[in-house]
Chain A
Amino acid sequence: MTAVSISNLSVAFGRNSILAELDLTIAQGEFVVIIGPNGTGKTTLLRAIAGLLPSTGNISLFGRPLAEYSRRQLALLMAMVPQATPTDFPFTVAETVLMGRSPHLGLLGFEGEGDLALARRAMAFTGVDHLADRLLAELSGGERQRVIIARAICQEPRLILLDEPTAALDPAHQVKILDLMERLRREQGVTVVMVSHDLNLGAIYGDRLILLQGGRIRAAGPPQQVLTEERLAQCYGCSMVVEQGANGVPRVFPVPGA
């Protein structure tokens, strides 16, 4: 079954076209990594899938047009981890994670034992359970990111959208978070769409890489097909060496001064 089906998608801010006539299909249970240079529309694509932007063209989620979903129905289906979250509000980590339950509870429902258990488990997953009573504003960037990821897990989505989730994390937490995504995918069939600048992590975890440049898809496919020296040099404007690593996973190194 298709999780996300996009055809002829265009997004423009005023006169600036960000995405142009984009077509993309993502299968249920797929781990897709969107890569590309800065300012090529990766985040915009993610926000368009989340229904947070006005766009032209067609987006369907699980076989139903995006526009036919209410905001709450969308939140039951998909969770989003943005690049940055405002922290100028005085909620604790536990309260923030518990907010992931809101679409399940509606306007009047109060969180029950089950919701609390889910939140505790999500916090344990991302390693923030010891921070439960701290304020979000007091945490480091990496800890904050893990709180928001825990909130997304708590939402129990079928599709999870991550915008550079590992940018602020140390290597151990990068791998831990992505292992967790991989596990959600394997055990519960969750579809994962992630924007990342880390080509190597993308190659390890992604079933498929989507290389965006200038608002269009330059290449899409398994990592070893997409990550070629020639194409990367063309897109990023910088020489990169691509090596074959273990299990045929390509490894990319930028070449300084070239």
Chain B
Amino acid sequence: MVLLVGLGLLVLAAWAGISVGSSVTGFRDTFDLFTGRAEISQVSAVIIREIRIPRVFLAAVVGATLALGGLVFQALLRNPLAEPYILGVSGGSAIGAILAMLAGFSPFPGVALAAFAGSMVTLMLVLIPAARRREVINRDSLLLGGVMMNAFCGAMIMFLISISRSAEVHHILFWLMGDLSTSTREQLPILLTVLPSFCLIFLLARPMNLLLTGRENAAAMGVNVRRVTVLLLIATTFMVAVAVCQSGLIGFVGLVIPHVLRLLIGPDHRLLVPASILTGASFLVVCDLLARTLPATGEMPVGIVTAMIGAPLFIFLLWRANR
């Protein structure tokens, strides 16, 4: 039932995202194109096929990934402020990407691979010291290590920007704020690589429920805590790195969506995992639509919209929940 609502939401958001834009094409055209009932103009068809659909697809995949990543990290670290970027994933991939941009690599595969490598390196740097302490990965040292890693990466990013030439700075800054305007049809296969991560996380939904009751409790109820933790971390880092190198740093989706869903449908991850995917995708598609259409000329980074909608929404929900 909940999932049907989520699916409906995503279809509506995607339709709106495909139909509305700076050039004139309407809801009607999209409908006609998909059903083939009436001929639509060549220009409209090209805009929809080559620009809008890849862009909506990118927004949906990135939104789903970030929301799901937030859900996983909040369960894993048992910390409500955790989000997909918390373990230095963002900072690491940003450093990798900026270095690649400064070196003049092409956006794909050069920058993408560098971003992915950067995020994996920072994750390992955070994971290994935390894992060495006794048998189980200690969630507090993970969290602290991640926060420190993010702070260090932030400094590195500022350093890299300060030494770079002015022409590149605008591009990098735009990317840092979250940017979906680089979408192309060629990205589709890359984006689909997040699907195995989605499936794996869905399979681990029940262990995630048990992990919420504490590591020892989870272990006593049959969860191999160490294996589940490592699998979840790797699956999540992989998909988040894919999302980051395609879209830059888009905040608040991973923080807000899981919390909103928990308030609406409760704490069961078997429901939360698919619901996060659907709602995260819808949310980012709508935010991207606003980012494209609100400014009179050009567009703004979608990260601005997610934060401007996400932060007040979050504060409102907190205020309501505490009443």
Contact = CB atoms under 8 A, between A and B. Distances in A.
- The answer on A and B forming one complex is yes
Interface of A: 47, 50-54, 70-76, 78-80, 82, 85-86, 88-91, 95-96, 99-100, 102-103, 105, 107-108, 110, 155
Q: Give the interface size bracket for B toward A.
A: 20 to 34
Interface string B196-212: 00000001101101101
Contact of A89 (B204, B212, B219, B221): B212
Given A52-B216, A71-B223, A79-B220, A99 B78 contact: no
Contacts of A96: 213
Interface stretch (B36-44, B57-65, B262-270): B262-270
B198 to A, nearest CB: 15
24 contacts: A47-B216, A50-B219, A52-B216, A52-B220, A71-B222, A73-B222, A75-B220, A78-B220, A82-B216, A82-B217, A85-B213, A86-B213, A88-B78, A89-B78, A89-B212, A90-B266, A95-B268, A99-B209, A99-B210, A99-B213, A102-B210, A107-B203, A107-B206, A107-B207
Interface of B: 78, 134-135, 203-204, 206-207, 209-210, 212-214, 216-217, 219-225, 262, 266-268, 270
Contacts of A91: 209, 212-213, 267
B212 A71 contact: no
A90 B213 contact: no
B216 A90 contact: no
Nearest to B78: A88
B220 A80 contact: yes
Contact of A102 (B134, B212, B221): B221
Given A70-B224, A71-B224, A102-B206, A85 B214 contact: yes
Contacts of B219: 50-52, 71
A76 B222 contact: yes
B203 A108 contact: yes
A55 B216 CA distance: 16
Contacts of B204: 107
A78 B220 CA distance: 8
Contacts of A72: 222, 224
Nearest to B223: A71
Given A85-B213, A90-B262, A95-B268, A103 B221 contact: yes
B76 to A, nearest CB: 13
A20 B213 CA distance: 31
Contact of A155 (B206, B216, B221): B221
A100 B135 CA distance: 24
Contacts of B78: 86, 88-89
Contacts of B209: 91, 99
Contacts of B207: 107
Nearest to A161: B220
Nearest to A53: B135
Given A52-B219, A70-B224, A99-B213, A90 B267 contact: yes
A89 B222 contact: no
Contacts of B270: 110
Given A52-B219, A54-B135, A102-B221, A89 B213 contact: yes
Nearest to B268: A95
Given A82-B217, A86-B217, A95-B267, 13 more contacts: A51-B219, A52-B219, A53-B135, A71-B222, A80-B216, A80-B217, A90-B262, A95-B268, A102-B206, A102-B210, A102-B223, A103-B221, A107-B204
